[in-house]
Amino acid sequence: MSKILVTGGLGYIGSHSVVELQETGTEVVVVDNLVNTTASVAQRIEKITGKPVTVYNVDVCDTKALEEVFIKEDISDVIHFAAFKAVGESVDKPVEYYHNNVSGLISLLHCVKKFNVSSLVFSSSCTVYGDTKESPITEIHPIVEAISPYGTTKILGEEILTDFAKFCDTKIVCLRYFNPVGAHKSALIGELPLGVPSNLIPYVTQTAAGIREQLTIFGNDYNTPDGTNIRDFIHVVDLAKAHVKAIDYANANSISLDVFNLGTGIGQSVKEVVETFERVNDLTLNYTYGPRRQGDVEQIWADASKAKHVLGWETEITLDEMMRSAWAWQQTL
């Protein structure tokens, strides 16, 4: 039976996607260098699905080691998550980001071509839209300039794939994620931020747990109804499910490359999110308002109608559940 290779399959979005793939009966092989996760995530996935996960501790940049995986396993399709993802860190370490995210993709494409992979799903981000003023934003919005080296790696990734798709038979789908949050309902897998979190929800949950003293909301003087930034928060399980749909779509259609926004289509303010977290978990969060964070887009949310109509996918999990599951997960750490 042919298998789906999931790079970064023990990471946050990767692990939830492996669960969804296994639950649809797909055989999964994971490649992960454990740089941002732990090996025990594999056992946790197995506990949820009751199915074993084959894991190779391999860095996608190591083309030779990656080739060995393709030689051993009968890989028909690939979902490529393995990448660095912290916007702020990318400003301090741009070269590491170019290397890991862009060279990693090129290394993978070498194998994709050599082993005639049918379809490839690429983790992209709404960061490719840069400092846009337009929301809800559609996939046809021009990609102009990245706001961070991380964003540059996602734009370059999409460009390379657009070119690659012209010359190779592999079907490609780029998925532009908005703000993934929450955790699996089992509370066995979730986000494992290393050090001080830079993303909102891990900071919120760590503050509630007493690991951080106080959350600072970065700016309340934006031109939004309550003055705080607006984002499109999407539950990681909804996001994971879209990957299963994307693989099916890629294999069932003749389009060589396609791009989809993955969001709820609803913009929610940082203040609303914090208040929802407090309400559904029945606790009071210690937070204050601070200055704006450099590089933050004022407001961005998805027009997710293309994914709905073409992939037959839409989100099902509410913000309440996102905040409940994020807290349930934090309490297990």
Question: CA 275 → CA 58, 208, 271, distances in Å?
Answer: 41, 13, 6
Determine the size of the site formed for ligand UFG (CB under 6 A): 21
CB of 222 to ligand UFG, least distance (A): 9
Q: Alpha-carbon distance 315 to 3, whole Å? A: 26
* Strands in the chain per DSSP E: 3-7, 28-31, 54-56, 75-80, 119-125, 171-177, 179-181, 215-218, 230-231, 233-235, 257-262, 268-269, 287-290
271 binds ligand UFG (CB under 6 A): no
7 binds ligand UFG (CB under 6 A): no
Q: In this chain, which stretch among 27-35, 54-62, 165-173, 290-298 interacts with ligand UFG, using CB under 6 A?
A: 290-298
Site track for ligand UFG across 207-246, x = CB under 6 A? --------xxxx----------x-x---------------
Q: What is the largest CA-CA distance in the chain?
A: 56
Catalytic residues: 150
CB of 244 to ligand UFG, least distance (A): 22
Q: DSSP of 199-219, one letter per residue? A: SHHHHHHHHHTTSSS-EEEE-
Q: Is the peptide bond before 225 cis (omega within 30 degrees of 0)?
A: no
Q: Alpha-carbon distance 154 to 322, whole Å? A: 26
Q: Alpha-carbon distance 44 to 23, whole Å? A: 14
- Tell me the two tokens of residue 46: 């197995």
Q: Alpha-carbon distance 322 to 315, whole Å? A: 12
127 binds ligand UFG (CB under 6 A): yes
25 conformational bin, left if phi > 0, alpha if psi -120 to 50, beta if neither: left
Q: Alpha-carbon distance 164 to 120, whole Å? A: 11
CB of 188 to ligand UFG, least distance (A): 23
Site track for ligand UFG across 86-125, x = CB under 6 A? -x-------------------------------------x
Of 16, 85, 176, 243, the one binding ligand UFG (CB under 6 A) is: 85
Which residue lies nearer to ligand UFG by CB, 203 or 249?
203
Of 76, 152, 179, 268, the one binding ligand UFG (CB under 6 A) is: 179
Of 51, 113, 141, 293, the one binding ligand UFG (CB under 6 A) is: 293
Site track for ligand UFG across 39-78, x = CB under 6 A? ----------------------------------------
Of 28, 126, 172, 244, the one binding ligand UFG (CB under 6 A) is: 126
- Tell me the two tokens of residue 316: 């099902």
CB of 202 to ligand UFG, least distance (A): 8
Angle at 52 between CA 35 and CA 41, to 5 degrees: 30
Which residue lies nearer to ligand UFG by CB, 198 or 318?
198
319 binds ligand UFG (CB under 6 A): no
Which residue lies nearer to ligand UFG by CB, 76 or 90?
90
Residue 331 CB neighbours (<10 A): 12
Which residue lies nearer to ligand UFG by CB, 14 or 165?
14
Of 68, 296, 314, 321, the one binding ligand UFG (CB under 6 A) is: 296
- Tell me the two tokens of residue 286: 């210690």
- Tell me the two tokens of residue 12: 């946050």
Site track for ligand UFG across 190-209, x = CB under 6 A? --------xxx--x------
Q: Which residues would be at the binding site for ligand UFG (CB under 6 A)?
A: 85, 87, 125-127, 179, 198-200, 203, 215-218, 229, 231, 270, 293, 296-297, 300
